[in-house]
Every structure is written in structure tokens, then in C-alpha cells.
Amino acid sequence: MKNAKYAKLTTGLIFVWFLFSLTASALHIFRTAPDQPPLPVGLAVLIPIVIFVIWSAVSQPFRQFLLSLNPSTLTFVQAWRIAGFVFLVLYTYNILPGQLALPAGWGDIAIGATAPLVALKLTNPNHRKGFIVWQLLGITDLVNAVGMGVAARFINPHGIATSAMTVLPMSLIPTFAVPLFMILHFICIAQARQWQEQTYPRVAEPLQSSGL
């Protein structure tokens, strides 16, 4: 019953979160001048993650709900990140700088393309290490993309600005998709840490124990 309650609650919160990101973007709340770092977007990425970490740390029922989720489904959701080719398109048309678009685009494509395979093949105790490594690679890609988005203006002050990421439709990526994907990675790693690798006795062991 508690898991069902948390399922409804989290579904509602995700829906409200998406509406907030959409509305705030439409009202240009996240918009920044080309000569300024996108700090409002940076906060929009960080705040949901901090709330999730604190909530999961202080609430045991919420942690139990998270651990009960299907890791294959959570991993398969990451396949949406193959849409990262949009970054490469915007880079081609000089709308986004290469410091952001190239690592973010190719990184998202790599994670999105491999997500179905990982969801089908690695979500079991015998592939625990490989599953965790893939999740860490996904986190690294997201952290790198956000970091380069904030730092691009400092790296090349006279280059192409990242202001396109602060307005619709691209603003939905850092203010909603990135923290959501990050949270899914965290959940999957927490689940995998609970797995116990299956071991099988050698053929000689049961024979010896039976006295043969």
C-alpha cells in the first residue's frame, strides 16, 4: 500500500515539476543575457536533485519504494537521450558552442543508444559491476554537459553563447530532463548495491558432501 501511495505521489510531483519547467520557461524566468552564465538554469538542475537526495536520506519508506522500482524500466527511460543529436544540429547552425554541444550531444547519443541493451542484459546481479559502471558513465555525461554549459562563457567569452538552453524548447532539457535522468541513475545504483552476485558450487563440491 505504501509503494502504491508513493507511486501516485511521485507521478504527480513529476507532472507538476514538468509543468513548472514549461511555465517558467514560457515566462522567460530561466533566460539570461548572452554575456552572463546561466545561473538560473544551473539552480533548476541542482534543486530537484538536492530535494531528492534529502528526501531519500530521511525517509525509509521512500527509499523502500525506490528500491522496489524495476531497474530495467528505469534504465530503458534513458534511451530518450539519443535525442542528444539536437545538440549537434544546433552546433552545426552556430546556435550552441562546441564546448557544450559536442560532448553533450555525443555523450547523450552514446548513453541513449546503449540504454536498451543495458536494460535487457545487465540488470541482474551477475552483471552488477557493469551495470553500475554504465550508470556512472551516464552521470558523468550529464555532469559534464551541465558544467560545460555553465563554463562555456568563461572558456570563450567572445564565442557563441549558451542562451539557447535558457529558452523553450531547449530549456526543458536542463530544467527537467537532466535532473530527472540523474535521479534515475542514482536510483539504479542504489538498487544495484543491494544485489548479491549469484555463485554456483563446482561439480565436485556436492559430490564430496554426499560422500561419493
pLDDT for residue 152: 77
Q: Any idea where the domains of the chain sit in the sequence?
A: 2-195
pLDDT for residue 209: 45
Choose among 114, 118, 121, 122: nearest CA to 195. Answer: 122
pLDDT for residue 123: 95
pLDDT for residue 196: 77
Cα–Cα distance, 174 to 77 (Å, whole number): 16
pLDDT for residue 200: 43
Cα–Cα distance, 102 to 106 (Å, whole number): 6
Q: Which residues of the chain have pLDDT under 50?
A: 199-212
pLDDT for residue 211: 46
Cα–Cα distance, 196 to 35 (Å, whole number): 51
pLDDT for residue 1: 67
